[in-house]
Amino acid sequence: MADEYDLIIIGSGPAGLTAALYSGRQQLKTLVLEKTLIGGMGSVVPHMENYPGFEEISGKQLIELMKKQALKYADIQDRVEVKKIEVDSEDKYIIHTTKDTYRAGAVILATGSRHRELGVQGEGEFLGRGVAYCATCDGPLFIDRKVLVVGGGNSAVQQAVYLDDIGVLVALAHRRDNLRAENYLQALLKEREIPIIWNSTVEEIRGDMKVESVLLNNRITGEHKDLPIDGVFIAVGEIPSSQLARKLGVELNKNGYIVTDKAQRTNVRRIYAAGDITDGVNQWVVACSEGAVAALSAYDDLQIKK
Ligand code: NAP
């Protein structure tokens, strides 16, 4: 017999944990399923200054607080991957995972996104041997060593500033001549005097047993340069983790993000979506808001059904 819940939330980032809090407080029997570790990509944010109520806090600290609060109202299971979702004869969702099978009246997809790869030679080969995607996870391995952060968005600049903070010798390479990152982050980059290699793409990551250099291409001059380096942190955006949604027939936009209405309902009955898996502003506070709305919509719909 599958364990029965009113609502199952897939993903335990800021959206999933907030949904759990709101759902549990409405006395829906709630379960959160997380494929990796609680917090997902939220845990690797080095520091935030724009989450209301906290002048400065790291993603890891905030996830710990949110997890503790959510656990008062919901069950949470980590390292459990959802493999398949079906509908049974009683119109309930059957959720098959790598461990157990669950049954629920409604599902919130808060599956977030994953790192986009650069797709250059050497990237896969040197993963964990100089190639990294997470500064807070791998940065301490590079103290007093030279690394290149690739990208021009908030994540790239945040990672560069964090690496500089912990004593890594960091430079940033961006493919254009201006950054996409928010102004306050750009100001931090300037304040720390972190060098920026403009108009440049990484064409290849080179080494023997570990990363030794990157081949840079200046897109304006066409000049190629072999830059000696110990590590490459890649922060060139995210790809929505929408495989489960796709299989369920949930409508996705052209970039693979889930389409919802204002109440976070998808086109599939009693399936909701919240957080980075939906398109729009990718901010912690927005993910929390969407998680709360999704949970309250599920509550409304489940009450109507009863
Ligand atoms: P992003 O904003 O999409 O930026 C990706 C960066 O990588 C862009 O500068 C892009 O260059 C560059 N890029 C993409 N493909 C590339 C390639 N093949 N080669 C070289 N460069 C490449 O991604 P993100 O920084 O990961 O952020 C994702 C979302 O999370 C955003 O909405 C962001 O605002 C949000 N976020 C917010 C915070 C915060 O609130 N502080 C922190 C982190 C992330 P172009 O600029 O030329 O396109």
Same domain for 193 and 99 = no
Q: How far apart are CA 266 and CA 261, in angstroms?
A: 7
Same domain for 77 and 107 = yes
The reply to whether ligand 1 has any atom less than 6 angstroms from the CB of 236 is yes
Same domain for 246 and 108 = yes
Residues with catalytic roles: 134, 137-138
Same domain for 256 and 110 = yes
Reported as a single tens digit per residue, the pLDDT across 43-73 is 888 888 899 999 999 999 999 999 999 999 9
Q: The tokens 């912690």 sit on which residue?
A: 284
| Closest ligand 1 atom, residue 48 Cα | 41
Q: Note the pLDDT of residue 49.
A: 87
**DSSP-assigned beta bridge partners for residue 132:** 233
Same domain for 205 and 254 = no
Of 20, 109, 14, 9, nearest to 52 by C-alpha is 14
Name the band, by pLDDT with cuts 50, 70 and 90, for residue 280: confident
The reply to whether ligand 1 has any atom less than 6 angstroms from the CB of 197 is no
Look up residue 305 and give its two tokens.
């059904």
User: What is the domain range of residue 95?
Assistant: 3-114+238-305
| Residue that terminates a domain, selected from 234, 249, 266 | 234
Q: Note the pLDDT of residue 305.
A: 63
Same domain for 290 and 218 = no
Instruction: Render 271-300 in DSSP notation, one character per residue.
Output: EEE-GGGBSS---HHHHHHHHHHHHHHHHH
**How far does residue 148's CA lie from ligand 1's centre (Å)?**
16
Same domain for 211 and 122 = yes
The CATH number of the domain holding residue 141 is: 3.50.50.60
Give the residue, out of 180, 183, 199, 283, with the most ligand 1 atoms within 8 A of its beta carbon, to mutate for a pocket test: 180
Same domain for 105 and 20 = yes
**How far does residue 139's CA lie from ligand 1's centre (Å)?**
19
Percent of the chain with pLDDT strictly greater than 70? 99
Which residue owns the Cα nearest ligand 1 atom 18?
118
Same domain for 178 and 83 = no
Judge whether residue 304 has pLDDT over 90.
no
Same domain for 110 and 245 = yes
| Residue that terminates a domain, selected from 216, 234, 252 | 234
Q: How far apart are CA 258 and CA 107, in angstroms?
A: 14
Q: How far apart are CA 237 and CA 245, in angstroms?
A: 21
| Residue that terminates a domain, selected from 234, 259, 289 | 234
**How far does residue 157's CA lie from ligand 1's centre (Å)?**
9
**How far does residue 227's CA lie from ligand 1's centre (Å)?**
23
Query: How much is the mean pLDDT over the chain?
Result: 96
Same domain for 242 and 109 = yes
The reply to whether ligand 1 has any atom less than 6 angstroms from the CB of 201 is yes
Name which of 70-79, 131-140, 143-152, 293-302 the model is least confident about: 131-140
Reported as a single tens digit per residue, the pLDDT across 198-234 is 999 999 999 999 999 999 999 999 999 999 999 999 9
Of 251, 260, 257, 263, nearest to 279 by C-alpha is 257
pTM beyond 0.75: the answer is yes
Same domain for 46 and 100 = yes
Count of domains observed in the chain: 2
Reported as a single tens digit per residue, the pLDDT across 159-178 is 999 999 999 999 999 999 99
Burial class (CB within 10 angstroms; exposed 0-12, middle 13-18, buried 19+) of 221: exposed
Which residue owns the Cα nearest ligand 1 atom 41?
154
Residue-level length of the chain:
306
Reported as a single tens digit per residue, the pLDDT across 74-122 is 999 999 999 999 999 999 999 999 999 999 999 999 999 999 999 999 9
